[in-house]
Amino acid sequence: MIKEVITPVNIKFLLQGFALTLYIAFISIILSTFFGTILGVIKSLSKGILGKLVGIYIEVVRNTPLLLWILVTRFVVQMKAVNAGILAFTIFTTAIIGEIVRGGLNSINKGQWEAALSQGFNTFQTLRYIILPQAFKNMIPALLSQFITVIKDTSFLWAVGIEEVTGKSMILMGYYSKPMQVFTIYIIVALIYFIVNYLLSLIFRAKHEKLTLQGK
């Protein structure tokens, strides 16, 4: 019964879906890290209207469901499915990372700013060469958690017809009727997610430990 499910064809089918999962997650993470860093810096440093607008964006997006943004980008904006998924994740994850970056920047002693400015650094140079490198080292655990969440949450995308790994598994389940066969497909998908996220976790932890040792 189980052997009918665990076949090279089915495994290849699911891995093709997971390749799309990683593609969407990777692009979303890169874009979100870039935009989230900008928003986090603005929220941390700007006390004017711009900082308040960024704060409103972060709070509104963080406190609304990710699935809502997926539905909006897919059916209201009417983008192509994969592009809609990337945009939805970028909108949502940018807000999360923006808040992480704000917290990371606030963890740096204000004396670091004063020392850099006294040496002739401007604000951008201080951020680029002194503050952000230290802040990102402190943010590694939080960023790791968010990156893993992005990979897992791509499973929502099957709801709008995107055939990532969960979407592929739903298609595959249509060919099997026995509970054990369906359960086996769920187990395979869970193992795929677990292996990739666990390896990612090990890599980030090793990097964090290395940076921590270098900082001592």
Render pLDDT for 133-147 as a digit per residue (tens, 0 to 9). 888 888 988 999 999
Average pLDDT, the chain: 90
Domains of the chain and any CATH numbers: 8-215 (1.10.3720.10)
Residue of 100, 64, 70 lying closest to 83 (CA atoms):
70
- The 10s digit of each residue's pLDDT in 133-184 is 888 888 988 999 999 999 999 999 999 989 999 999 999 988 887 889 899 9
Q: Which residues of 103-121 are buried (b: 16+ CB within 10 A; e: fewer)?
A: ebbeebeeeebeebeeeeb
Q: What is the pLDDT of residue 208?
A: 73
Q: Is 60 exceeded by the pLDDT of residue 216?
A: no
The pTM score is: 0.90
Tens digits of residue pLDDT in 96-130: 999 999 999 988 888 888 888 888 888 888 888 88
